[in-house]
Structure 1
């Protein structure tokens, strides 16, 4: 029996965005990790490039933030760390696709090579998702611009590569 995204107890807004993007059934990494993530389990996963790892962590993260946070503050509810700005841009693009029908979800990308001032401005309102490279996130942390009081989900995308990079 083939599992469908609808079988994973995802919000209707996420399901309709997946359908609009042409996704019907989860890949093996998604089918294994999404239910565990929705059950608030920590996950360490490895899979081939193109296997759907990004959706495997973004979909349950979006499900977690379907309901608005009751915690005060402007900080993110989901933090995704990536080793490169190119990967951060890809993750952000996918987040926009999957959250297409969740108009209240705000995300920002914090990477080197982009305007620090524009990033500060983007963080002046409550944020749901930050996708960042470690160096630029640390710059914002040192300046006191990031508040993690509302953080619910931490994702280290390609953690092995970040460790290799130092």
Structure 2
């Protein structure tokens, strides 16, 4: 079986196969062909820059940083990246923070449309972390702290 070692920067190879390449050093030609045929071109929208208008934070860069940990599943990397969005947010209202988080989640899902675990983790994160009535009665900084706590807890639960 012939193996290839394509560049990690190849946008036609899904994150799953890039991770496999990084961790094991080889990707079979069958896997590579499947990855290339399954990957759709990314939509050319402005969602990539929506999450980092005022800062240099990029949810994709954060996701890739977490994804490079060999013992961390792709879904957990997505959860940790979305938690970092909350921590680094400059939003001053809950609505701004929710919009920023939704844009980051959409950016991750659009970045690799073939990854079911990435999509599921992003959707579950949004439901688990942001769906609590207790946030409505707190000042913004307390609510943001509570979101960060819930995000960290969700990340820990998912890692187990």
TM-score, structure 1 length as denominator?
A: 0.38
Higher strand share: 1
* Structure (1 or 2) with the larger CA radius of gyration: 2
Higher helix share: 2
TM-score, structure 2 length as denominator?
A: 0.40
Identify the structure with bigger relative contact order (alpha carbons < 8 Å, sequence gap 6+): 1
